[in-house]
Amino acid sequence: MQSGPREIVTPFRPIPLAVPEGMKPNEFFNSAENLADLVHNNGLLQNPEGLLLYRKALGHSNLFDASIIYNTSQSILDPLGRPVRRTQVPAPVKNVWNRMNQIVVAAMLERYPDPDAHLVLAGEASLDATWPLTAPGVPSIRMLHNHFIVFDKQALRAAPLADPDNPNLTDGGQHSLFQAHMRDVYRNFFAGLDLQILTPCREGAGRLALTGYPQGLPSWEIQGGAAALKEVRFWQEYDVILQGFIDFYRSFFSQVSTRNAAMPRDIHFPALVENKLLFDNDFLKTAKMVRDRCLTDARYANAIRWQPAFKQIIYRDDAGRLVVTISQNSIGNAITELLGVVVKRVPDAEAYGRAEPALIAQLLEVRRRLVEADLGQGIATPTWSTAP
């Protein structure tokens, strides 16, 4: 079978929300009013820390699809002021969020144990607050949230190949500035991080045979598999990967913005940045290349994400290993496209209705486990109650 990115069709039930006249949909979706609807119609569980588990109304997969959002819509009314990455979350909230993540991932792996039959992934994408609200592709809910998704691999095999030039298929092999021009610098920088549970994968390891993705990205195998997700050390290292990426991203684009710029404030690993980046000729040569183009190409300069933008996921590869990878999210693609899965959502209430009972049953079981672990209280909606 030919390897390549796949485009699958996912039916959904149209959301009965009327966008106020004069507002764009993505402006309304960031409002407190819409987030209230998210709770009342799709909410499964919430807790005092502000974390909300909900069913994805516009989902990626109708096999298993849910998210946890750090719902600050009632306390931070400015959408541009809300936390958009793990490093901005208060420690007590992050502790609860990590435990929730571990339980949901464990439930997915338990129900879908065969890597040949199902693709399992979990992770988050940056909702970069530097994007203007009306920009094409801007996230519909500008608050930190993650994804838990399972795809049927047989359905993926039967799906048509996606257009490899689809700009949403951003990855290290095709579009990433870091991988194209600073590959060795990028990997050497990550090699300087203090990691014990996460061990670097050799190049090409972890790539899905069906899609050929992810391509060219640094990735790390989780030693100990799912059991390691119960360890505080794993989540600390998961954050270290993100902190290292943010340091690299900020350091690079500060040099693009201003020649010979000082090290950005609040860098997580200043010695690593100084030794591995700010004295590296390839790193600074690439910054000059981008800076020079920005001066003469307005469209190119306008497309740059000047603040850290990323996708970071945990997924199960063909060999059954759990792998962490992170990608520069320069265009704003869906998290599934990091693994070569392009989702085409189509309104079809009847088709969605056929899949809904099995989907909801799984989500309610996950909710039961979270409540049992004192991670929140159930929410009643028109579709389900708070009963176990």
Considering 308, 330, 352, which residue would you say is the last residue of a domain? 330
In terms of domains, do 153 and 198 share one? no
Residues 93/246, Cβ–Cβ less than 8 Å = no
pLDDT at 46: 96
Query: Domain check: are 104 and 59 in the same one?
Result: yes
Q: What is the pLDDT of residues 324-352, one digit of tens each?
A: 999 876 555 678 988 999 999 999 999 99
pLDDT in tens, 49-66: 999 999 998 889 999 999
- Residues 68, 39, single domain; the answer is yes
**pLDDT at residue 132 above 60?**
no
pLDDT confidence of residue 158: 96
Task: Report pLDDT for 145.
Answer: 86
148 and 265: one domain?
A: no
Domain shared by 153 and 23, yes or no = yes
Contacts of 43 (CB under 8 A, 6+ apart): 52, 53, 54, 379, 381
pLDDT of 349 reads 94
Q: Residue 263 carries which DSSP code?
A: P
Please enumerate in sequence order all residues whose Cβ is within 8 A of that of 91, keeping only pairs 6 or more positions apart, or say none.
none
Please tell me the distance from the alpha carbon of residue 338 to that of residue 158, in angstroms, as a whole number: 19
**CATH number of the structural domain spanning residue 94:** 3.30.428
Q: Are residues 360 and 244 located together in one domain of the fold?
A: no
Same domain as 381, residue 291: no
Considering the domain architecture, whether residues 205 and 269 belong to the same structural domain is answered as yes
Rounded CA-CA distance 38/304 in Å is 31
In the predicted structure, residue 134 carries a pLDDT above the cut 70: no
With 60 as the cut, is the pLDDT of residue 163 above it?
A: yes
In this prediction, residue 178 carries a pLDDT of 84
Q: Are 124 and 144 in contact (CB under 8 A)?
A: yes
Which of 300, 330, 360 marks a domain boundary? 330
The first and second tokens of residue 64, run together, are 């298993």
Instruction: Tell me, yes or no, whether 210 and 278 share the same domain.
Output: yes
Contact (Cβ atoms closer than 8 angstroms) between residue 80 and residue 129: yes
Q: What tokens were used for 75?
A: 């306390």
What is the arithmetic mean of pLDDT over 250-268? 96
Residues 236 and 380 in one domain: no
Spatial distance between the Cα atoms of 168 and 340, rounded to a whole number of angstroms: 10
Same domain, 282 and 378: no
The Cα–Cα gap between 273 and 284 comes to 12
Domain tally, the chain? 2
pLDDT tens for each residue of 85-128: 888 899 999 999 999 999 999 999 999 999 999 999 999 987 66
Give the DSSP H or E segment for 72: none
Q: Exposure pattern of 324-360 as b/e (b: 16+ CB <10 Å)?
A: bbbbbbbbbbbbbbbbbbbbeeeeeeebbeebeeebe
Which range marks the domain in which residue 128 is found?
Answer: 1-162+334-388
Pairing of strands 64-70, 118-125: unpaired
For 158-197, b/e burial (b = at least 16 CB within 10 A) is ebeebeeeeebbbbbbbbbbbbebbbebbeebbeebebeb
β strands within the chain, DSSP E: 6-12, 43-46, 51-55, 64-70, 118-125, 145-152, 198-200, 219-222, 310-316, 322-328, 341-347, 377-378
| Dihedral in degrees, nearest 10, Cα atoms 24, 27, 32, 38 | 70
Element (H, E) at 369: helix 349-372
The residue from 330, 355, 376 where one domain ends is: 330
Q: Is residue 173 pLDDT above 70, yes or no? A: no
Together in a domain, 81 and 200: no
The rounded distance, in Å, linking the Cα atoms of 338 and 119 is 13
What's the pLDDT score for residue 26? Answer: 67
- 10, β-bridge pairs: 345
